[in-house]
Structure 1
Amino acid sequence: MTNPSSLPPEWAPQRALWVGWPRLDHEWSGGMEAARDEIAAFVRAASRFVPVRLAAGDEAAAAAAHKRGLDTVCEVVRIPTGDIWLRDTGPLLTEDGRALCFAFNGWGGKYDMEGDAETASAIARAEGSLAEAFGFVLEGGSLDFDGEGRLLTTRQCLLNPNRNGEVTEGEVETLLKDALGGTEVIWLGRGLHGDHTDGHVDNLARFTGPGRAVCQAPYGDDDPHADVLAEAERDLRAAGLDVATIPSPGRILDADGEVLPASHMNFTITNGAVLLPIYDEASGAAAREALAPLFPGREVVALPARAILEGGGGAFHCMTREVPGAA
């Protein structure tokens, strides 16, 4: 690729926000309607700040969105989708009108759904962006950007042989810098326990400004992710970043008593707002209070995301993709 430019940070102006919409009931273990209710609430909240485009993968999904009245607050767009995780299946959009479309292999071959491989190019066409294809497997949720050339990621994901075979840290750094215009890659180790993405960084730590990052502190004495959270904070500080912490959700279990990879890091930043997923009233309130000072001038909107997490494994950041530019 010629003339790479650093991707804008998520807090840069956005002219639209894409949101995924569930359509495959069997992928949600019977919880698709509950997840749709939470996503509908997210769409209504986000639409107060940015034009929302809801990605409906088929006519039945579009009809379900219309039935909930979402067409009155957003644009319902028919494009090919498998699941809702547009952060990973969609393109990385640049400020100069390009759509960087990396290869997608179902998170290392774990989830192969018809439509997911076509989502990136479909969003590029819908936005009138120039699509640039890359053969390297890369999901958007595995990266975060601070707008000044710093890229944040994890070794567990980007060096996992289930994506691109045996690649070295240096080879990945060169690709990221060449393709995305980055100048520094900051590596964290592993992601949350039970994260089927193999440690996406958007569940672990996020940039809040140039050279500034936020991660989570354990919540409660039985936080199952305490070891991972401590490692992430240590590595961020060692990289020379200005680091803040907010409480994690703590121990969040599914109906079978299994630990879920619940994370307050999976927030979506948009014009004038940060949309924060919560899974427990007490830990959610604590996280909202701690996050607000890190985004002055933005309203932190806390919304339930437990059904999305239980049925799909992710939350708000995973299911969204911003379009840079003036609204």
Structure 2
Amino acid sequence: MPAEWSPHKRTWMMWPCRAEVWDDMDVTRANYVDVAHAIRQFEPLTMVVHPRDRAQAHAMLGSDIELLEHPIDDSWARDAGPNFLIDAQGNKAGSCFSFNAWGGKYDPYDGDDSVGAAILEAAGVPAYSSSLIAEGGGISVDGDGTVLTTETCFPNANRNPDWSREAITEELKQMLGAEKVIWLPGNELEDETDGHVDGIAMFMAPGVVLIEGAGRADNDWYEKKLANLEFMRGQTDAKGREIRLVEVPDAMDAPDDHDMFCESYVNSYLCNGGVVMPQYGIREDGLVAEVYQELFPGRRVVQVPIPSIAIGGGGIHCITQQEPL
């Protein structure tokens, strides 16, 4: 699986459609439109839409964003979508893990379980399927053989009760073309995804990981963040390089009191020539934008307000999936 900063052919997203997740579906869809248009500045984008929503999606998105119809259940392309792969000859394929809505938290989810294969068919590339229940937000890869994931997610009994951690490790290696899996402690208190890694730490370059700092001690997640941070110190990647950590704050001071509100700046998206990151309207927006600009001096940093996406428990990374060039 190539790293996210590798060149993309396009981005895939999924149009919001599960009413119980959102306070106001139209407002959430408007936030999705803003993210899609921010990405479209840099590369093509295809939005997967439920057939009943095609007309509205086209009206809101405009003609420069392609639509693919599929009877989806929800709107998290990172988690339900495929993980694209490239071999040594440049041939493309995709791996599809099984999907059960983050441990059966929503129903139905059969449309989302099948969307990965539908995307790969539309992209014209072969699919590899796995019986492991896993989500793309639960992994980060460096394109050089290393995978980051968390102890609290895939080994959770709500996903893979009959899989040992060792068996999950081997399956991740097989399905993603990896040599080493690094298991962060995770965060069981983040009970929507059970501690996806893309809200904690993400590869930004070979040997470089962006990670959320522990923040204030009065934060309920302080000890969990500290444990992840301490665990990553001194870790090496698949090539034996010691991983350099770049810390960023969270958005704890964002003006929202939803229990699931995503406060993660790590949950941003790298696309061709750009970094698309959340904007919460707080001081930390500018600080984190400067970090991204330092990490990617050749890219343009675009901040997008996502208040009506973050209430669903995810951010910009969660609603996007890259197809490599």
Pairwise same-fold verdict (TM > 0.5): yes
Does 1:100 find its partner at 2:95? yes
Deviation string, structure 1 residues 212-256 (Cα, Å, up to 9, x no partner): 101122455644432222222211113131111112112447446
Q: Say if 2:14 is the partner of 1:23.
A: no
Q: Once the 2 structures are TM-superposed, how far is the Cα of residue 9 of structure 1 from its aligned partner?
A: 0.2
Q: Would the aligned equivalents of 2:132 and 2:168 in 1 still touch at CA under 8 Å?
A: no
**Alignment CA distance shift 1:230-1:289 (3 Å):** same
Map Cα deviations across residues 267-314 of structure 1 (whole Å, 9 max, x no partner).
Answer: 11110011101323322222212222112211111111121011x211
Q: Confirm or deny that 1:317 pairs with 2:310.
A: no
**Equivalence for 1:8:** 2
Q: Is the 8 A contact 2:152 2:188 kept in 1?
A: no
SS of the residue corresponding to residue 159 of structure 2 reads helix
Q: Which moved more, 1:34-43 or 1:19-28?
A: 19-28
The question of 1:65 aligning with 2:65 is answered: no
Is 1:112 matched up with 2:103? Answer: no
Assess if the C-alpha contact under 8 Å between 1:15 and 1:323 holds in 2: yes
Please show how residues 122-271 of structure 1 align to structure 2 within 5 Å. 122-191=118-187, 193-219=189-215, 222-239=218-235, 240-252=242-254, 254-255=256-257, 258=259, 260-271=261-272
Which residue of 2 is the match for residue 84 of structure 1? Answer: 75
CA distance in 1 between counterparts of 2:151 and 2:232 reads: 14
Shift of residue 117, structure 1, vs aligned partner: 1.5
SS in 1 for 2:163: coil
Report the alpha carbon displacement of residue 113 of structure 1 after superposing the two structures with TM. Answer: 2.8
123-132 or 272-281, which deviates more? 272-281
SS at match of 2:317: coil
Identify the residue that residue 238 of structure 2 maps to in structure 1: none
Asked whether the equivalents of residues 216 and 222 of structure 2 are also in contact (C-alpha less than 8 Å), the reply is no
Q: Secondary structure at the match of 1:102?
A: strand
- SS of 1:163's partner is coil
Q: Which deviates further from its counterpart, 135-144 or 185-194?
A: 185-194
- The Cα of 1:321 is off from its aligned counterpart by 0.9
Decide whether aligned partners of structure 1 residues 193 and 295 sit closer, same or farther in structure 2, where only a CA change above 3 A counts: farther
User: Deviation per CA, 1:56-103, whole angstroms, max 9, x where unpaired?
Assistant: 1123x22222222x2323112212311111111111111222121111
Residue type matched to 1:135 in 2? S
CA contact (8 A) 2:261 2:314 kept: no
Is 1:45 aligned to residue 41 of structure 2? no
Distance change >3 Å, CA 259–CA 108, structure 1 → 2: closer
Which residue identity does 1:99 align to in structure 2?
G
1:140 CA displacement = 0.8
**Residues 7, 272 of structure 2: 8 Å contact kept:** yes
Look up the SS of the partner of 1:64 in the other structure.
helix
CA apart distance, 1:132:
1.5
| Equivalence for 2:281 | 280
Amino acid at match of 1:22: P
